[in-house]
Amino acid sequence: VSLQMMKHAWDNYKRYAWGLNELKPISKQGHSSNLFGNIQGATIVDALDTLYIMEMKEEFKEAKDWVEKNLDFNVNAEISVFEVNIRFVGGLLSAYYLSGEEIFRKKAVELGEKLLPAFNTPTGIPWALLNIKSGIGRNWPWASGGSSILAEFGTLHLEFVHLSHLSGNPVFAEKVMNIRKVLNRLDKPEGLYPNYLNPSSGQWGQHHVSIGGLGDSFYEYLLKAWLMSDKTDEEGKKMYYDAVQAIETHLIRKSSGGLTYIAEWKGGLLEHKMGHLTCFAGGMFALGADGAPSDKTGHHIELGAEIARTCHESYDRTSMKLGPEAFRFDGGVEAIATRQNEKYYILRPEVIETYMYMWRLTHDPKYRQWAWEAVEALEKHCRVDGGYSGIRDVYNNHESHDDVQQSFFLSETLKYLYLLFSDDDILPFEHWVFNTEAHPLPILHKEDGSKEEKQK
Ligand code: DMJ
């Protein structure tokens, strides 16, 4: 069924928004997000590997032809370094490793080179925003005291290691190793990593800590860097398990109704809110269970299962059976959004992602059932004639569509659904790690040194 969903999402993108970044499925036209500046074709690049894995050969060929002829990075555009890295660099790398087509390798390295000036700061912590023509960078104006964002500069590692691997140029890997060096020199409040770090002074900004937005994939990439290195990256491993320890002590709580959740931390005070984005952490804890100290393995799997259950509740307690952007555990509610501006669902993958990891790691059939409930809800409420749309209020009985088909719906949500209902030998965890946009990257096995992996 995820195959038919992919076909519907792709065909409509092709019909109404071909070559543009995303589709507006209600108004049936293109949607351009300023995250990608003038770079075009986000949906095409994000979807390449999903098309390949689902064996949609004709569509993959069209997408590849478009990349060959039209994907152009010589544009005067200010882009988000993080978004372009996870979606475009990640998408191109996966397409290369899966198909072996040289064009994808070439484009990935070319784009990687364009991103390098972002690291020209006093500390080497990159800017959030970069003009890829002038090479001038800056940070988000809203970020605490001119800071860079943890989840942004902390989510380059996997892609940049592969860029060095594929180009023979060590500079990419050096840039991301330096980020860790800066982080390891700093004192961390209670062992936690604040979301804001000033790239000029090398000091933390506001002491806000989150495993959701602004923090999330930094933690994910510590674990996955270690896994992708065939478990040789001891530094990444240590940073990950130390961070999880601090998260458990200071952020993870249980509601009176027995739901485990991950709160946010603001200068020592807890905000009892969990974001949809935070739900990815269930899968992360389970994926990391194996490498945890031996007495903790079962505990990490259990933690993953509890987060999965909480996030399922956040879906189940809405009228549309799709989860809100954020839900709270205070003021008498549990796993429910209380603020109007937190009630939307924008086709995000994190809950299904966690179901996929939990399914693969436990084979408990409830994860397939829960994913199936999400499929039914997506089909009922998000599917429209012109593709798939997000929803403004999941507690309402009537859909108010936001008119955006996010590119991560094709790269992540539909891919994770497909994997959940496939055998484990499609993209097995022994050979692949998924970047934060669900683009699979091969584990760099010790024994084959610089040889490329083309395993499926
Ligand atoms: C995606 O771009 C990635 O999963 C990122 O890590 C977080 N936000 C979206 C999906 O929700």
Q: What CATH number should be reported for the domain holding residue 390?
A: 1.50.10.10
What are 304-347's pLDDT values in tens digits? 999 999 999 999 999 999 999 999 999 999 999 999 999 999 99
- CA 436 to chain centroid, in Å, comes to 3
- Residue position matching structure tokens 């806000």: 208
CA distances from 419 to 196, 356, 413, 425 (A): 35, 7, 10, 9
What are 140-149's pLDDT values in tens digits? 999 999 999 9
Domain of 214, in residue numbers: 1-442
Q: Look at 32-36, 122-126, 270-274 and tell me which has the smallest mean pLDDT.
A: 32-36
- Residue position matching structure tokens 């998000």: 382
For 65, other C-beta atoms within 10 Å of its C-beta total 11
Res 93: pLDDT: 99
Nearest to residue 436, comparing CAs of 210, 155, 108? Answer: 155
Average pLDDT for the chain: 97
In a domain, 125, yes or no: yes
In a domain, 84, yes or no: yes
Confirm or deny that 413 is annotated as ligand binding. Answer: no
Q: Read off the pLDDT of each residue in 398-427 and give the average, rounded to a whole number.
A: 98
Indicate which residue of 22, 49, 78, 83 is catalytic.
83
Q: Is the CB of 85 under 6 A from ligand 1?
A: no
Burial of 33 (0-12, 13-18, 19+ CB in 10 A): middle
Report the alpha-carbon distance of residue 346 to residue 430 in Å, rounded. Answer: 31
Atom of ligand 1 nearest to the CA of 412: 4
CA of 317 to the centre of ligand 1 (A): 23
Sign (positive/negative) of CA torsion 257, 262, 268, 269?
negative
CA distances from 199 to 150, 153, 262, 386 (A): 11, 10, 28, 43
In a domain, 253, yes or no: yes
Give me the residues paired with residue 384 across strands. Answer: 387
- Given a cut of 90, whether residue 235 has pLDDT beyond it is yes
In a domain, 456, yes or no: no
Nearest to residue 197, comparing CAs of 263, 123, 86? Answer: 123
Sign (positive/negative) of CA torsion 144, 327, 282, 401?
negative
Burial code (b: 16+ CB inside 10 Å, e: under 16) for 373-384 equals bbbebbeebbeb
Q: Is the CB of 434 under 6 A from ligand 1?
A: no
Choice from 36, 89, 224, 277 to test ligand 1 binding pocket (greatest atom count within 8 A of CB): 277
Give the residue whose CA is nearest to atom 8 of ligand 1: 277
Kindly list the strands in the beta sheet with 269-271, ordered across the sheet, starting from the edge strand earlier in the chain. Answer: 208-209, 264-266, 269-271
What are 424-443's pLDDT values in tens digits? 999 999 999 999 999 999 99
- Number of structural domains (the chain) is 1
- Is 350 among the residues known to form the active site? yes
- Is 248 among the residues known to form the active site? no
Q: Is the CB of 411 under 6 A from ligand 1?
A: no
In a domain, 32, yes or no: yes
What are 355-378's pLDDT values in tens digits? 999 999 999 999 999 999 999 999
Whole-structure pTM value? 0.97
In a domain, 455, yes or no: no
- CA 197 to chain centroid, in Å, comes to 21
Q: Is the CB of 36 under 6 A from ligand 1?
A: no
In a domain, 452, yes or no: no
Choice from 159, 280, 348 to test ligand 1 binding pocket (greatest atom count within 8 A of CB): 348
Report the alpha-carbon distance of residue 370 to residue 316 in Å, rounded. Answer: 9
In a domain, 447, yes or no: no
Res 447: pLDDT: 72
Q: Is the CB of 348 under 6 A from ligand 1?
A: yes
What are 208-223's pLDDT values in tens digits? 999 999 999 999 999 9
CA of 437 to the centre of ligand 1 (A): 6
